[in-house]
């Protein structure tokens, strides 16, 4: 693999998660195409993008900063999931499945950030 981030499990998981979110959001109402659908897709993609961008930086401190931004993107996804549940765009099972993935990714990112700061 040519890029350092390609070896990171958290990056791989984030890429897969974005794919899951794209599949999930494809079922949202058409009227949400430029609203919640776009927002959740962009936030999900932002997670892996920030991990990759951070890997291109010259210091652990900068990498940790981009990991924090990725964590913010996960928080954004969770918020949109709640809104979609409220609007009945999601059932409780789909919500719970994606919420769990967000928890797992968040845990991995917090651990990675802690490692970088030590």
Alpha-carbon distances of 48 from 18, 62, 67, 89, 91, rounded to whole Å: 8, 16, 9, 25, 26
Q: What is the pLDDT of residues 4-17, one digit of tens each?
A: 999 999 999 999 99
CB count within 10 Å of CB 23 equals 9
Structural domains in the chain plus CATH codes: 4-117 (1.20.1440.60)
28-32 mean pLDDT? 97
Distances (CA, A) of 39 to 56, 76, 104: 25, 9, 21
pLDDT in tens, 92-106: 999 999 999 999 999
pLDDT digits (tens, 9 = 90+) for 42-87: 999 999 999 999 999 989 999 999 999 999 999 999 999 999 999 9
Quote the pLDDT of residue 12: 98
Cβ-contact 93, 61 below 8 angstroms: no
User: Looking at residues 11-34, what average pLDDT do you find?
Assistant: 97
The pTM of the full predicted model, rounded to 2 decimals, is 0.95
Of all residues in the chain, the percent with pLDDT exceeding 90 is: 97
């Amino acid at each position: 693999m040519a890029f350092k981030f390609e070896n990171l499990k958290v990056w791989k998981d984030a890429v897969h998660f974005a794919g899951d979110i794209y599949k999930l959001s494809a079922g949202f109402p058409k009227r949400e195409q430029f609203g919640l659908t776009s927002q959740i897709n962009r936030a999900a993609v932002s997670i892996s993008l920030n991990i990759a961008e951070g890997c291109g930086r010259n210091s652990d401190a900068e990498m940790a900063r981009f990991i924090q931004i990725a964590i913010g993107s996960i928080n954004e996804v969770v918020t949109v999931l709640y809104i979609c549940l409220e609007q009945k765009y999601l059932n409780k099972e789909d919500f719970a499945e994606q919420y769990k993935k967000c928890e797992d990714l968040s845990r991995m990112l917090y651990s990675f950030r802690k490692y970088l700061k030590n």
